[in-house]
C-alpha cells in the first residue's frame, strides 16, 4: 500500500522525515499546493524561515492547507518524524464535538485506494466518489493533531 502525504500546518514550523529517505527541508514550497477551503473567509499564510529551513504558518481566524502528493511505499517508509512548534492552542477546541473540531495543527497521512484489492462494495462506493470528486478519495487516513486536551 502507498500513502500520500497531506499536511495541514497551523501556527507551527516543521521538518518532515520518513524512513525511506524523504526529507522535506522547506527550502521552498514548489512541491506543495495550497488548498483553500470554500467556507473559510480568511486563508492562512505560509513562509519559509531561511535560517532554519522550516515552514512557518500564521493563522488568525483563518485556515488553509498544503498538500504534497508524493507517493511512498509503506513497507519501506515505516516511520515518520516531524518537529513542530506551536505558539498557542485553540482554547475552545474539542475533537469530540464537530462544531469545535479545530486544532493548532493537523498532519494527515492518506492511504491510496487500490481498486485491485477492493471488495465489490468498495469498488461501487469508491467508483461513485470518484465520479463526484474526479479522483478516488483515500481509503484510510491517519491524523496527527496538536490539541489542547
Pick the more confident residue, 76 or 3.
76
Span 117-137, pLDDT tens digits: 999 999 999 999 999 999 898
Confidence check: pLDDT of 89 > 70:
yes
Q: Which three cell numbers stand for residue 77?
A: 517508509
What 3-state DSSP class applies to 81? strand
Report the C-alpha gap between 108 and 76 in whole angstroms. 19
Please state which of the ranges 33-42, 64-73, 120-129 shows the lowest mean pLDDT.
Answer: 64-73
pTM of the model: 0.69
Instruction: Mark residue 61 as left, alpha or beta (left: phi above 0; alpha: psi -120 to 50; beta: remaining).
Output: left
CB-based contacts of 54, cutoff 8 Å, min separation 6:
13, 14, 15, 26, 48, 83
Amino acid at each position: 500500500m502507498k500513502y500520500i502525504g497531506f499536511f495541514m500546518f497551523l501556527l507551527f514550523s516543521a521538518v518532515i522525515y520518513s524512513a525511506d529517505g524523504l526529507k522535506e527541508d522547506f527550502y521552498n514550497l514548489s512541491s506543495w499546493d495550497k488548498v483553500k477551503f470554500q467556507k473559510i473567509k480568511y486563508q492562512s499564510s505560509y513562509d519559509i524561515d531561511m535560517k532554519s529551513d522550516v515552514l512557518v504558518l500564521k493563522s488568525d481566524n483563518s485556515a488553509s492547507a498544503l498538500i504534497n502528493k508524493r507517493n511512498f511505499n509503506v513497507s519501506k517508509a515505516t516511520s515518520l518524524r516531524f518537529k513542530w512548534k506551536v505558539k498557542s492552542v485553540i482554547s475552545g477546541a474539542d475533537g469530540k464535538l464537530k462544531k469545535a473540531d479545530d486544532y493548532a495543527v493537523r498532519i494527515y497521512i492518506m492511504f491510496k485506494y487500490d481498486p485491485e484489492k477492493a471488495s465489490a462494495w468498495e469498488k461501487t462506493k469508491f467508483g461513485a466518489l470518484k465520479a463526484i470528486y474526479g479522483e478516488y478519495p483515500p481509503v484510510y487516513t491517519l491524523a496527527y493533531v496538536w490539541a489542547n486536551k
